Amino acid sequence: MIGELGQLALCFALALSLVMAVSGLMGARAHASAARKVATSSTLGFLVFVVLSFGTLTYAFVVSDFSIIDVASNSHTLKPLVYKISGVWGNHEGSMLLWVLVLALYAGLVAVLQRGGERLTSAALGVQGLLAFAFLLFILFTSNPFLRLDPAPFEGAGLKPLLQDPGLAMHPPMLYAGYVGLSASFSYAAAAMMVGEEGWARAARPFMLIAWIALTSGIALGSWWAYYELGWGGFWAWDPVENASLMPWLIATALLHSALATEKSGAFRTWTLLLAIAGFSMSLIGTFLVRSGVLSSVHAFASDPTRGFFIMMLIALAIGGALALFAWRAPKLQGGAAFASVSRESALLLNNVFLVASCACVFVGTLYPLVLDALNRTKISVGPPYYVLTFAPIFFALLLLVPFGPKLGWKRGDLKTAWRSLVPALGLAAIAAVAVLAIASPRSLAATGAFAVAGWLIGASILDIRKRRGARASAFAAALAHAGLGISLMGVTGTTVWRSESLTVVAPGQKMTVGPYALRFDGVTREKGPNYIADRGHFALMDGDKVKAMLQPEHRFYPAEGEDMNDTAIHTTGWRDLYLALGDDRGGGRFAIRAYVSPLAPLIWLGGLVMALGGILSLWGRLRVKEPEKAPAAPAVALAAE
């Protein structure tokens, strides 16, 4: 019964999304307030039914209703409750339903907040409705999570042990909140082109910010998860799935900067529209890459192309439609702002050039092997060395330029004044470089340069915060976000350059040293978890003769899934991680143990957190100030207010 209820709710949602699309687009006309009312209420109705449908599926997972195929093939009665719930999005069908749920939540937010003119909001809801309609069709026809299984099995097949982790419970919803959040900017941009309203960037800003915050946190969370879960101490592998989340982030970052210029001085109007389209396009392409199976093998994709083909059509329609609208309407928007060659506007434009080039690099690196393979040319792999040679220099150059932006005035800036005010940051950069040369070994030119840039970024941010004490939240937010970049850079450099590792076999009672740490192995015990059996290693971290801490890495076996998993143990001082992974049983109580010392590793995610905090601060500043939204905010007015 419960499955049919979910399915029915999904069908109602489909119908309502169509109502949303039609009435929303009709409401874009001047005298159609009735249509606008319908658009708002159908959006809320659509949201209710999607929530109902998602709730139903979650319920089916919680009570282990194995008469539903999706539950039977992805769940197990012995799984802890939290993983029963996270199992809802740990599979293709459920994750697509989560995708639509997030889309519905954003649509609901657009309808409730009614930012921008009512025609603009209505048209934006119309576009959200079109997207929702397409994705619901996709779910119902190719990925229905409510299909039944008869007879129902006694037990489910379980969830991949790798996914049974708190990090994974949080990671996909966070990432989707970012991915799909870019649909709001996309819809607003498309709506702005239909209605011809120029204040759209201001109206859409909170949605851009929410999406960016979620993407930043989602990527950081994913990288942290990979770090402690995969057992190799790595944090980023340039894997296509990771790249799929990085591309929207790079474009969303560019969009945030470009939209700022559009809002403040009316510059780059068409370019900002294009970025809003590109950002969501990257989300769609990422979804296609991850969901179509094209990554595992182009040929596997070709043998069962239903899903991939459907998403491909969807992408073509969404991107093609938006670009056609752009080609038709954008020339009319061309304002042509005036600003000096040295100005905040120029700096933001330069920022965009570098961010788009970085994104192009990730895009080409991810798709090139697939295209070559599809054309039956050589098979190649594009791994970290490619990105070190292409992405790294481009992004590094961007980081060098970051501190200048906030120092230059709108319309006209002065490079000399900017340089002079940045001297203390240069000093900090020099100190950082000297400190690295003096303290760290092995000496590394790359690390010295990276630390200088980190010092430069953080120093400039401190200057910004000090100078503008009590000033607007937005300046403070930008400084935080830029400082976060510097913090992450230190973490990435420290871990990459100075990580040390050792691989040893230890017997119970034996002592071992890893870098500056002394460890005593106290043997391995057999433990029983809720749905796994574990070999738990006991390692005492020694401080002289005293035990400072116990580290307990585990090697788990999940009988339901028939898979092994490592659960690492990490001891962190905040500056340095000691990372242990338990290896094979070598007999006689002896075990192989892999240990890493990763200096500054925690800074990688601390930086991400600081960046996200910057975003949150900016969002708070935006929502706190009640802005004059009903009147279409002319750029000139915004400038005067500034």
Site for another protein in 359-398 (CB under 8 A): 360-361, 364-365, 368-369, 372, 377-386, 389-391, 394
CB 426, CB 390: distance < 8 Å: no
CB 23, CB 126: distance < 8 Å: yes
Interface with another protein in residues 318-337 (CB under 8 A): 336-337
- Between 145 and 365, whose beta carbon lies closer to another protein? 365
φ and ψ of 9, to 5 deg:
-60, -40
Q: 300, 340, 400, 616: which one contacts another protein (CB under 8 A)?
A: 340
- Please calculate the CA angle 530-534-535 and round it to the nearest 5 degrees: 160
The residue type of 124 is A
CB 552, CB 538: distance < 8 Å: yes
Q: Counting contacts by CB under 8 A, is residue 296 touching another protein?
A: yes
Secondary structure of residue 359 in the 3-state scheme = helix
- Between 76 and 555, whose beta carbon lies closer to another protein? 555
Q: Least distance (Å) from another protein to the CB of residue 613?
A: 19
Q: 40, 185, 358, 461: which one contacts another protein (CB under 8 A)?
A: 358
Q: Least distance (Å) from another protein to the CB of residue 503?
A: 5
- Between 79 and 291, whose beta carbon lies closer to another protein? 291
Q: 39, 193, 211, 356: which one contacts another protein (CB under 8 A)?
A: 356
544 contacts: CB under 8 Å, gap ≥ 6: none
- Between 470 and 587, whose beta carbon lies closer to another protein? 587
Cα Rg of the chain, angstroms = 26
Q: Least distance (Å) from another protein to the CB of residue 385?
A: 4
- Between 313 and 389, whose beta carbon lies closer to another protein? 389
Q: Of the ranges 358-366, 477-485, 550-558, 625-633, which one interacts with another protein (CB under 8 A)?
A: 358-366
Interface with another protein in residues 510-549 (CB under 8 A): 513-516
Interface with another protein in residues 460-489 (CB under 8 A): 462, 466
- Between 193 and 429, whose beta carbon lies closer to another protein? 429
Matching residue, tokens 């990105």: 387
- How many residues bind another protein (CB under 8 A)? The answer is 86
Q: Least distance (Å) from another protein to the CB of residue 12?
A: 38
Token pair of 192, please? 């702005």
- Between 112 and 415, whose beta carbon lies closer to another protein? 415
Q: Of the ranges 103-111, 130-138, 214-222, 423-431, which one interacts with another protein (CB under 8 A)?
A: 423-431
Interior/surface letters 479-493, b for 16+ CB within 10 angstroms, e for the rest: bbbbbbbbbbbbbbb
Binding characters for another protein, 43-82, by CB under 8 A (x = yes) = ----------------------------------------
Q: Of the ranges 346-354, 401-409, 543-551, 622-630, which one interacts with another protein (CB under 8 A)?
A: 346-354
Token pair of 234, please? 């790595």
CB 451, CB 433: distance < 8 Å: yes
Q: 12, 232, 309, 396: which one contacts another protein (CB under 8 A)?
A: 232
Q: Of the ranges 103-111, 157-165, 234-242, 316-324, which one interacts with another protein (CB under 8 A)?
A: 234-242
Enter the DSSP assignment of 151. Answer: S
Interface with another protein in residues 120-149 (CB under 8 A): none
Give which of 448, 552, 520, 523 is closest to 490, Cα–Cα: 448
Token pair of 76, please? 């197990």
Binding characters for another protein, 238-257, by CB under 8 A (x = yes) = xxxxx---------------
- Exposed (0-12), middle (13-18) or buried (19+): which is 393, by Cβ within 10 Å? exposed
Matching residue, tokens 């119309």: 126
Secondary structure of residue 424 in the 3-state scheme = helix
Interior/surface letters 536-575, b for 16+ CB within 10 angstroms, e for the rest: bbbbbbbeeeeeeeebbbbbbebebbeeebbbbbbbeeee
- Between 317 and 371, whose beta carbon lies closer to another protein? 371
Q: Counting contacts by CB under 8 A, is residue 353 touching another protein?
A: yes
Q: Of the ranges 15-23, 232-240, 274-282, 622-630, which one interacts with another protein (CB under 8 A)?
A: 232-240
Binding characters for another protein, 576-615, by CB under 8 A (x = yes) = x------x--x-----xx---x-xx---------------
State how far Cα 10 lies from the chain centre: 27
- Between 38 and 244, whose beta carbon lies closer to another protein? 244
Q: Counting contacts by CB under 8 A, is residue 266 touching another protein?
A: no
- Between 252 and 581, whose beta carbon lies closer to another protein? 581
Q: Of the ranges 34-42, 98-106, 230-238, 621-629, which one interacts with another protein (CB under 8 A)?
A: 230-238
341 contacts: CB under 8 Å, gap ≥ 6: none
- Between 385 and 628, whose beta carbon lies closer to another protein? 385
CB 171, CB 222: distance < 8 Å: yes
Supply the DSSP string of 152-200, one letter for each residue.
Answer: PPSS-----GGG-SHHHHHHHHHHHHHHTTHHHHHHHHHHHHHHT-STH
Q: Least distance (Å) from another protein to the CB of residue 611?
A: 20
